[in-house]
Every structure is written in C-alpha cells, then in structure tokens.
C-alpha cells in the first residue's frame, strides 16, 4: 500500500466516524458504508451510557468509554488502555501491566507469582510480596532473598566505593548444604545476636558449623578476637566467654599470638592451649580444679623463653557463665603489646561470646 492510499484510508475513516454518529439521537447500531471501493465498517454501536463499540456490542472487539480503550471481549482475553496503565487481562485477572514507573509480568491475584520491574529494582513476587529483589542502585547493588510471612532473609550487597562484598543475614539465619535427596549434610551458621555477658551486651561473632552425623546439640564453633588496641605487658586480658548449662560439655583448642609493635622479634610469642569443662545433670563441674581445666599444649617463637603465658578459666559473673583470660609476661620489659586469639570449640555450650571489643 502506498503512502497516498494510506492517507486516503485515514480520510475515509475520519469521515465515516463523523458522518455515522449523528444519524440518530437514539443509542443503537449504526451501519457505515465505505467509499471509493474500500470495505465498509460493518457496525458502530453507541450504547445508553455513551460507550462507543466498533463491530458487535456482544463481542466488544473495541470499546471506548470516553477515558479507557478496551480491545477484545472483557469476559476473556483483552487489553485495557487507560491514562495510567496498559493492562493485559483475562476476564478480571491482570496478567501483565505497564505503568509509567513499572512493568509487572504475571498475575497479581492471591497465590500467584509475578515479576515487577521498576527504575531501580527487579522484584520476583508472590502477589505483592517480594521474594527475590535485585537492586540496581549505583551506591549499593544487591540481591536479597526473603520468604513470605516472616522476616527471614539473606542479602548479598556490594558495598559502595570499596572492594568489599557483604553477606547480610537476618538474625540467626542459617546456610544449609544439602545432598541431591534434600537431606541436610552440613550447615554453616553465623550468629549475629548480641549476648549479655557479665551484665553487659557483647557482640557474638561465633561461626557455627554442623557436620553430617552429628545432632543439632553438638556443633563445632569457631570464634576469633583481638584488636589493634594495646595492652600493658603483664596485664590480664579477657578473651572470650561462654555459657555452660546442665549436662553440657565444652572442649577448646585455643591459639594466642601477641607482639609488641615497637620491639624486636624476641618480644613476639605464640602459644596453644587445651581447655575442657563439663557440667553434669546435678550441676557438678569437672575437672574440679580450675588449673586442671586449662593446659598448655605448645609454645613457640619464644626465643630463650623470654615470654611466659598464663591462661585461666574463671566465673563470668552471670548464671552458668565462664570466661577465659590470658596473661602474657615478658622477661624483659616490652612496654605495650597486642594480642589476638582463635578458639575452635566442640561440645554443647549454649553461647560463645567474644570479649574483645
């Protein structure tokens, strides 16, 4: 079809519509005859409300009500075009919607899944509840997984203007490693809950690993502590605390490293310790002597034994609380020293708390 022919058709349609409506003041069907050999519009219908139908009123292939345009019968698949949206509908169900700020693909009614795309997010949703969120903001792009009906989530976020990538869980969320049958084989949990130890709130940064073949009451815990803060040579330092309830046992492999920032190599030291404590169902604690609960396994990088350690276990101040302390002495004055530790723990301790803040 040539451009001239298209223009002629446009003129004919305009004239047809203009000539058709005034035929009668009574709403009803209007036949329109084509001109110049072109096919006629079979029927225009103006109902009592003033809605304009093209072709049969019953089939409603196109309806204009003065505001919205509907293409297709409204009792089945059709499109509604309004000033605020374009909706693809099946009866009363919206399957896809395009608005000035978002595109929603999929049915939004109860039990249904859909995808919503906006300027800065892609949301995989159930009804209007986000399940997976892709945030494409330039400051902190992220991927967030949530479940319906609770506050549990895991979020992976690229921190702004750094090389850091943050994995941010909701409190006490758990990673699970499953076999192909869906059976849990190993879980890795990060406990983000603050604990109360000796009357004060302490940051709990223990990492809990659950291995196959063990029950939930027999975890392996790892905890690390130590900062750039300096301690006076010979001062007692609180390392970590734990809560041991009735019928619980804790075994710990503890590694301590310290160094003096301004001193020579002779003031460096590393030592390893073994700690064990058990509380029976009558609240009796074994071993009975505190000195028997703690034992030095190995010491090295201590040239000419210029350092000596004392690691001790003591009551933590609260019910069922204990704490581990360290005292590193230098034969010659080393001034101030820095200290870090790592503890690998097995058993059934209720809570492990880092006391280095």
Q: Where in the chain are the domains?
A: 1-61, 220-354
Neighbours of 228 (CB within 10 A): 7
The pLDDT of residue 212: 53
Torsions phi, psi of 58, nearest 5? -65, -40
Long-range contacts of 12-18 (CB under 8 A, 24+ apart): 12/36, 12/38, 13/41, 16/41, 17/44
Confirm if 277 and 286 have CB atoms less than 8 A apart.
Answer: yes
182/185 Cα distance (integer angstroms):
9
Neighbours of 284 (CB within 10 A): 10
118/142 Cα distance (integer angstroms):
15
Torsions phi, psi of 134, nearest 5? -100, 110
133: part of which helix (H) or strand (E)? strand 129-135
The CATH fold assigned to 220-354 is Immunoglobulin-like (2.60.40)
The pLDDT of residue 274: 95
Long-range contacts of 286-290 (CB under 8 A, 24+ apart): 290/314
pTM, 2 dp: 0.57
pLDDT along the chain (357 residues), means of 10: 63 58 47 47 61 60 79 83 88 86 83 86 88 86 84 84 81 71 72 75 70 59 75 75 90 87 65 93 90 86 61 87 83 67 88 80
- Token readout for 120 is 């800065």
The pLDDT of residue 39: 47
Residue 318, Cα to own-chain centre: how many angstroms? 34
324/38 Cα distance (integer angstroms):
96
67/81 Cα distance (integer angstroms):
9
The pLDDT of residue 13: 56
11: part of which helix (H) or strand (E)? helix 3-20
Largest CA distance in the chain: 116
| Residue that has been written with the tokens 């609240």 in this structure | 283
The pLDDT of residue 25: 46
182/100 Cα distance (integer angstroms):
43
Q: How many residues does the chain have?
A: 357
User: What residues form DSSP beta bridges with 122?
Assistant: 117, 134
């Amino acid at each position: 079809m040539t451009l001239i022919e298209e223009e002629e058709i446009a003129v004919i349609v305009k004239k047809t519509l203009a000539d058709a409506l005034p035929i009668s003041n009574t709403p009803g069907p209007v036949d329109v005859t084509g001109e110049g050999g072109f096919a006629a519009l079979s029927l225009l219908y103006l109902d009592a409300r003033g809605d304009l139908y093209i072709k049969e009123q019953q089939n409603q292939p196109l309806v204009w009500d003065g505001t919205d345009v509907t293409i297709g019968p409204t009792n089945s698949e059709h499109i509604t075009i309004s000033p605020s949206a374009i909706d693809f509908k099946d009866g009363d169900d919206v399957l896809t919607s395009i608005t000035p700020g978002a595109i929603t693909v999929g049915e939004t009614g109860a039990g249904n899944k859909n995808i919503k795309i906006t300027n800065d997010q892609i949301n995989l949703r159930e009804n209007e509840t986000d399940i997976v969120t892709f945030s494409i903001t330039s400051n902190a792009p992220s991927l967030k997984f949530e479940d319906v009906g609770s506050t549990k989530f895991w979020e992976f976020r690229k921190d702004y203007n750094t090389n850091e990538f943050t994995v941010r869980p909701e409190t006490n969320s758990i990673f699970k490693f499953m076999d192909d049958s869906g059976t849990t084989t190993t879980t890795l949990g990060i406990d983000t809950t603050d604990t109360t130890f000796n009357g004060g709130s302490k940051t709990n940064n223990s990492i809990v690993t659950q291995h196959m073949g063990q029950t939930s009451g027999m975890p392996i815990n790892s905890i690390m502590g130590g900062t750039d803060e300096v301690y006076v040579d010979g001062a007692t330092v609180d390392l970590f605390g734990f809560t041991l309830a009735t019928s619980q046992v804790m075994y710990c492999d503890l590694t301590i490293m310290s160094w003096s920032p301004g001193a020579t190599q002779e003031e460096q030291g590393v030592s390893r310790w073994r700690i064990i404590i058990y509380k029976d169902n009558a609240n009796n604690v074994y071993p009975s002597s505190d000195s028997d609960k703690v034992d030095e396994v190995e010491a090295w990088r201590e040239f000419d034994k210029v350092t000596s350690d004392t690691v001790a276990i003591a009551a933590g101040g609260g019910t069922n609380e204990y704490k581990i302390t360290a005292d590193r002495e230098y034969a010659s004055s080393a001034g101030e020293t820095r200290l870090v530790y790592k503890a690998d723990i097995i058993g059934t301790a209720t809570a492990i708390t880092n006391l280095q803040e």
